[in-house]
A and B are shown apart, each in its own frame.
Chain A
Amino acid sequence: MYTYTEFDRDFVAERNRQFRAQVERRIDGSLTEDEFKPLRLMNGLYLQLHAYMLRVAVPYGSLNSGQMRQLAYLAERWDKGYGHFTTRQNIQYNWPELRDVPDMLDALAEVGMHAIQTSGNTIRNVTADHFAGAAADEVADPRPVAELIRQWSTDHPEFQFLPRKFKVAVTGSQNDRAVIKAHDIGLRIVERDGVIGYEVLVGGGLGRTPMIGKVIHDFLPEEDLLPYLEAVVSVWNLLGRRDNKYKARIKITVHEHGLEDIRARVEERFALIKPAFKGVDQAMLKAIRADFEAPEFRSGTVHHFDAAYKGNAMFRAWADTNISEHRNPEYAIVTISLKAHGETPGDATADQMRVMADLAERFGHDELRISHEQNVILPHVHKSDLPVIHTALKEAGLGTANIGLISDIIACPGMDYCALATARSIPIAQEIATRFDELKLEHEIGEMKIKISGCINACGHHHVGHIGILGLDRAGVESYQITLGGDATQDARVGDRTGPGFSADDIIPAIERIVYTYLELRENEDETFLNAYSRLGMIPFKNALYNQEQAYAAE
């Protein structure tokens, strides 16, 4: 794991000192809210519906046990005993008071964490494959380059007042778990004839105008990465639509100018700035790589695992859903579900955070990851330790065997917390999970990604959910629009709208009708919902949704 250098520590400490003084000046009246707001946003502090919200960066979703314990401490000391892990691999605290935030930031700095650039029109926290460094299908670990981008983008003088926010995601695998096609820039590490390079995608994004990223460079040499990124952001910084915040993201710029035009401008800019990069970035990348060397994997019998898998049905169910293939055959990647049926997706109590930290320290080479799907990962676990880990997780309410299933739902905070939301998301997620648990259907349904957003901004990634749900305000009533066939992987696709929305009471039965239609029409158990949808198209699902009296036209 990357550990802060003296430079990082000094930088964060200085920012915290500045922000502490800014908070004091806001409270004593020397700063107005208009003056203070951009300052607090630069430090991840929002004012939401019921309280302030502090968004803490977990760079590329990676943290160690000490950091996780500190997150638990913050939750207990300054919040209501829990934290909310987000779709951008961050953690949000929903109840801090303004006076306490500088102390929270100082506590974070103690473990090399901060809330810088988790908000505002800057380059946001860089996200990455949550299986980075562990996945069997990986060309290279994406975290060193993600860390390089974090360092380059943090406080970058040219990019502090961008037309809008800017999000970068990196993966090192052909199988995309980082939704790189829905980011302003998506990077995929690729190998050609033994040489590492980057496929660069630009102009993806969700929100009110969802777009799939386009390949602007299919094999960028490693040493060109930072100058090329700088060229892309720089071109957009000048061209981006500052006149209209809904048209300010780079996806609109690429759409309006065309990929060829943007590529030509980027090449021109790149040629201009490349000479200024004299290789310092490559020296830095080399040093960062040393921090991300794989742990010393141990070798031993996996007998405990085999015995538990044969003899314990509950363990087997969990292992079947929550374990992924590790590049070391004796190891496994554990996904800890933060989606217990009926609970809030992505929430963990301070006690649960400490349990996960302890397990990581004892069995997981001290590494944890946060996934954009709002779960926590133990990336390196020897298979023989899985039974004891499962027992500990179960005791902490973290043993739910549902990864990739219908109750493993992404949901944004929605109108329960968010000031921008137009409807609630969390209760819909809770009800869907509870309902399908009651029906005992979720294992039969198999792979199913439901993603829920409480407004058009799409923090809940609804566009790329197999079933997407978008909560809207229709004439003063919460109304939920459904999309089908979205895909967040390397085959990314924006889902198709089914038609009129459903009320909060009708949305759960509507989802049930979609699921029953799928179960009835699938060719066999191996045909996933997504495959069945691409074979069958919208018609049978639309009929199931609307050709009934209970369907109502909400718009």
Chain B
Amino acid sequence: MAREFTPKVITANALLEGDVVYLTENDSWTRHLSEAAILTDEADADVRMLSSEAQTDIVVGVYLADVAVGENGPEPTHFREEFRRTGPSNYLHGKQAELH
């Protein structure tokens, strides 16, 4: 039996700035994980991955990342994704500085 599809978001880096970005419900890109579309259907995720990967003039390195569904939308399930949405731990740089 195929493995159950767990909730995911589509994420990548912005071509120009390198920032971590997420795909939203309306197929645009956001810097905020909380605004990312949560994908729960594998077929839907596959189609959106195809269209995301095609946007090579906006993003680089598109992939699906596991998330948990929290009160404020998607939450990372792995520490790597936690760092990606926050920024480095040695300086207040990256998203943690820019978004708050």
Contact = CB atoms under 8 A, between A and B. Distances in A.
Interface in A10-33: 26-27, 29, 32-33
Given A32-B56, A478-B79, A50 B90 contact: no
Interface stretch (B13-21, B33-41, B44-52): B13-21
B56 A52 contact: no
Interface string A410-426: 00000111000000101
Interface-centre pick from A80, A416, A476 (highest chain B CB count, 10 A): A416
A50 B16 contact: no
A443 B2 CA distance: 59
Given A97-B16, A98-B16, A50 B89 contact: no
A415 B83 contact: yes
B32 interface: no
Given A50-B95, A52-B18, A416-B89, A33 B56 contact: yes
Contacts of B20: 49-50
A416 B60 contact: no
Contacts of A50: 18-20, 84, 87-88, 93-95
A416 B93 CA distance: 11
Interface of B: 13, 15-20, 56-57, 60-61, 77-80, 83-84, 87-91, 93-95
Given A415-B83, A476-B77, A51 B90 contact: no
Contacts of B83: 49, 415-416, 424
Given A47-B60, A47-B61, A344-B90, 8 more contacts: A50-B19, A50-B87, A50-B93, A80-B93, A98-B16, A344-B91, A424-B89, A430-B90
A29 B19 CA distance: 19
A101 to B, nearest CB: 11
A325 B20 CA distance: 48
A48 interface: yes
Nearest to A424: B89
Contacts of B93: 50, 80, 94-95
Contacts of B90: 344, 416, 426-427, 430
A48 B18 contact: yes
A77 interface: no
Nearest to A34: B56
B80 A415 contact: yes
Interface-centre pick from A29, A98, A427 (highest chain B CB count, 10 A): A98
29 contacts: A26-B15, A27-B15, A27-B16, A29-B56, A29-B57, A33-B15, A33-B61, A47-B13, A47-B18, A47-B60, A49-B80, A50-B84, A50-B93, A51-B13, A51-B17, A80-B93, A94-B93, A97-B17, A98-B16, A98-B17, A344-B90, A344-B91, A416-B88, A416-B89, A424-B83, A473-B79, A473-B80, A476-B79, A477-B79
A431 to B, nearest CB: 11
Contacts, number: 73
Contacts of A48: 18
Contacts of B17: 51, 97-98
A470 to B, nearest CB: 16
Contacts of A478: 79
A338 to B, nearest CB: 13
B88 to A, nearest CB: 4
Given A33-B60, A415-B80, A51 B89 contact: no
A174 B22 CA distance: 54
Contacts of A477: 79
Interface string A265-277: 0000000000000
Contacts of A344: 90-91
Nearest to B13: A47
Contacts of B61: 33, 47
Contacts of B79: 415, 473, 476-478
A240 B3 CA distance: 38
Interface-centre pick from A50, A94, A95, A430 (highest chain B CB count, 10 A): A50
Contacts of B15: 26-27, 33, 98
Contacts of B80: 49, 415, 473
A26 B93 CA distance: 27
Contacts of A49: 20, 80, 83-84
- Considering the complex of A and B, which 6 residue pairs feature the smallest CB-CB distances, nearest first? A51-B18, A416-B88, A52-B18, A50-B94, A29-B57, A344-B90
A99 interface: yes
B8 to A, nearest CB: 15
Interface in A307-354: 344
Nearest to B94: A50
Nearest to B97: A80
Contacts of A95: 93
A163 B67 CA distance: 37
A417 B19 CA distance: 12
Interface in A40-65: 47-52
Contacts of B91: 80, 344
Nearest to A97: B17
